[in-house]
Amino acid sequence: MTELDPITLEMFWRRFNSTVDELAATLKRTSFSTVVRDVNDYAAAIFDAERRLLAQSPESTPGLCGPLGNMLRHMLIDNPPEELRDGDVLIGNNPWHGSGHHNDITVATPIFLNGRIIAYTVTCCHHVDIGGRRATIESRDNYEEGLRIPHLKIYKAGELNTDVLAFIQNNVRSADTVLGDLRAQFAANHVGGERIRSMCAERGWDDLQLVADEMITRSEALARAEIRKIPNGVYESVSPIGIDDGEEVTIKCKVTIADDEIEIDFAGTSAQVRTAINCTYTYACSYTTFAVNAVLELPIKMNEGTLKPLTIKAEEGSILNCTFPAPVFARTSIGNYMAEVVFAAIARAVPDRICAGAGSTPMWGQYFFGKRRDGGGFAPLNVVNGGLGARPDRDGVSCLSFPVNVGNTPIEVLENDVPILIRQRALWVDSAGAGEYRGGFGQLFEVEVLDDEHGPDGDILASFRAGRFTYPVPGFLGGGEAPNGELYVNGEAQNSGIQRSLKPGDHFLCRIPGGGGLGDPGKRDPALVARDVEYGLISTDFAVRHYGFEGA
């Protein structure tokens, strides 16, 4: 192999990234699951022969992308590379090795050239069903949460392993869809492998290690240089979080910056809980990594090199490193907070690289189950988002998903699918934390269940996701907090995680908070305060109280 010049390196670096894009496009297109298509709840990545991450799909949910490397390593412990043959394909969904719950099935394909493994293509998708109980936080252990697939070969030397397939087929609802989506993963991995082999063929190379080494070395150096810009020190945050049944947990986060290394230690965080919101260590790491990446804002995409300077610790048995068989289905309820707790810790060290707490953390929404009068059933997840936190040089965005990325369902689509009527989807006045830069505004989302011929056949079972009922969305660096979230059914205040049967004529109101503010509200440009008053986004009273407003 000749020496690698910067032009060739750029070409191949890009090629890895564009191959992952192509792989992701193939997967997204061919997948039936709406969570894959609409919510980007999939991930695709390429690893080198030494199991180091080279490129991953940038649009993917962090919770699915982050764990792929760990999953691959575990798969290869059970299936050592030296025993793999061309045409083997591995499958598995262990939450402790991968993305934290059973629905996410990972498929890994070793890519061979001349009898040697030169890379792995890996994809993971949230599948529509995995058996067990349906979407619920009530499972009391992981065994209730559906089928566990050990790290097996789903293909052996190019032959489909029908034994494994039959086990899956017999244990999931909508088996055709699940198997179809698995085939999409096999196909996508295969396409990725073809591209990687053709990259070698183009240069007559035996493998791509030269490029891989160079990518990783340079990326690591860049990440370390960026970390050096952060002042050394130990930065801590303590975040109490109310959970559904009135309990609360505390997340303690200690960030240590030592020259070009970052260590994040969650020691002291609460123990795992009965409710199915526990995070496996791998899952907690993925959202923590997301936070660090957002802070570092590197001009390159994530790979093994950018990850190297980061160490994450969480005590075994804590809610961020739960032990088997803890129930884990709704692990986003806790995992979503990782960005905020990391930002809260290091806000003073890097005030220009963070954003304040988001009202859209955790994700709010409702699952509606029921029947229409025309006989059709419905079971959509409707997501409604609060505001993004204030940024160092600008206000937060109103009603924006963070850190997951799930948009809303249009009112007209929702009303077509479900016999309900949306009374309002409106910006919530005074819902954004004050600050030199204020948070984005939250949302008032009000729904009534229709009556008579427009109503449902029977009741609607509504399962609510909500948060911030006990502890408000925090502002940072002197910025104000947003008001608590609230949920009312027929005018009565409710707990956050309720499941309710709604009758025709019933109505509910979600008050989803805005984002926290950043910086001293006294420093806010008075013209912007006046504009917010004029626009009816803040009341005069709020403006007087928080900003000393003198106009109007």
Q: Find the binding residues for another protein in span 53-92 (CB under 8 A).
A: 58-59, 62
**Interface with another protein in residues 171-230 (CB under 8 A):** 176-177, 180, 183, 187, 218-219, 221-222
Is residue 408 near another protein by the rule CB under 8 A?
Answer: yes
Distance CA 465, CA 294 (A): 26
**253 vs 296, beta carbon nearer another protein:** 296
**Among 464, 497, 496, 468, CA closest to 483:** 468
Q: What's the closest the beta carbon of residue 258 comes to another protein, in angstroms?
A: 22
Q: What's the closest the beta carbon of residue 8 comes to another protein, in angstroms?
A: 8
Phi/psi for 462 (5° steps) reads -115, 125
| 8 Å CB contact between 213 and 1 | no
Taking CB under 8 A as the criterion, the residue among 393, 525, 541, 550 binding another protein is 393
Number of helices (H) and strands (E) in the chain: give both, helices first. 14, 21
* Helix ranges (DSSP H) in 376-458: 411-417
Q: Name the one range near another protein by CB under 8 A: 11-19, 79-87, 228-236, 265-273.
A: 11-19
- Hey, what are 74's tokens? 């575990």
| 8 Å CB contact between 394 and 516 | no
Taking CB under 8 A as the criterion, the residue among 114, 232, 311, 416 binding another protein is 416
**Interface with another protein in residues 353-372 (CB under 8 A):** 353-355, 360
Q: What's the closest the beta carbon of residue 525 comes to another protein, in angstroms?
A: 16
Is residue 32 near another protein by the rule CB under 8 A?
Answer: yes
Is residue 489 near another protein by the rule CB under 8 A?
Answer: no
Q: What's the closest the beta carbon of residue 93 comes to another protein, in angstroms?
A: 22
Question: Buried (b) or exposed (e) across 511-523, using 16+ Cβ within 10 A?
Answer: bbbbbbbbbebee
Taking CB under 8 A as the criterion, the residue among 11, 135, 528, 530 binding another protein is 11
Q: What's the closest the beta carbon of residue 330 comes to another protein, in angstroms?
A: 20
What does DSSP assign to residue 393? T
- Determine how many CB atoms are found less than 10 A away from the CB of residue 424: 12
- Hey, what are 172's tokens? 């999931």
**Interface with another protein in residues 422-451 (CB under 8 A):** 422-427, 443, 446, 450
Residue 43 three-state SS: strand
**405 vs 499, beta carbon nearer another protein:** 405
Taking CB under 8 A as the criterion, the residue among 56, 121, 332, 401 binding another protein is 401
Q: Name the one range near another protein by CB under 8 A: 83-91, 96-104, 271-279, 383-391.
A: 383-391
| 8 Å CB contact between 285 and 66 | yes
Q: Name the one range near another protein by CB under 8 A: 150-158, 406-414, 479-487, 492-500.
A: 406-414
Is residue 135 near another protein by the rule CB under 8 A?
Answer: no
Q: What's the closest the beta carbon of residue 142 comes to another protein, in angstroms?
A: 27
Taking CB under 8 A as the criterion, the residue among 115, 204, 491, 536 binding another protein is 536
Taking CB under 8 A as the criterion, the residue among 70, 99, 142, 398 binding another protein is 398
Q: What's the closest the beta carbon of residue 284 comes to another protein, in angstroms?
A: 18
- Helices 281-296 & 209-228 angle (0-180, nearest 10): 70
Phi/psi for 425 (5° steps) reads -130, 95
Is residue 397 near another protein by the rule CB under 8 A?
Answer: yes
Is residue 350 near another protein by the rule CB under 8 A?
Answer: no
**307 vs 427, beta carbon nearer another protein:** 427
Phi/psi for 326 (5° steps) reads -60, 145
Work out whether the CA dihedral 516, 520, 525, 527 comes out positive or negative.
Answer: positive
**18 vs 114, beta carbon nearer another protein:** 18
Q: Name the one range near another protein by CB under 8 A: 156-164, 407-415, 430-438, 498-506.
A: 407-415
Class of residue 552 by CB neighbours under 10 A (exposed 0-12, middle 13-18, buried 19+): exposed
Q: What's the closest the beta carbon of residue 323 comes to another protein, in angstroms?
A: 30
Residue 233 three-state SS: strand
Taking CB under 8 A as the criterion, the residue among 152, 164, 294, 461 binding another protein is 294
Q: What's the closest the beta carbon of residue 531 comes to another protein, in angstroms?
A: 9
**Among 148, 98, 465, CA closest to 325:** 148
Which residues have a Cβ under 8 Å from the Cβ of 352 and sit 6 or more positions away?
392, 393
Q: What's the closest the beta carbon of residue 303 comes to another protein, in angstroms?
A: 11
| 8 Å CB contact between 56 and 68 | yes
Distance CA 143, CA 132 (A): 8
**387 vs 472, beta carbon nearer another protein:** 387
**Interface with another protein in residues 232-271 (CB under 8 A):** none
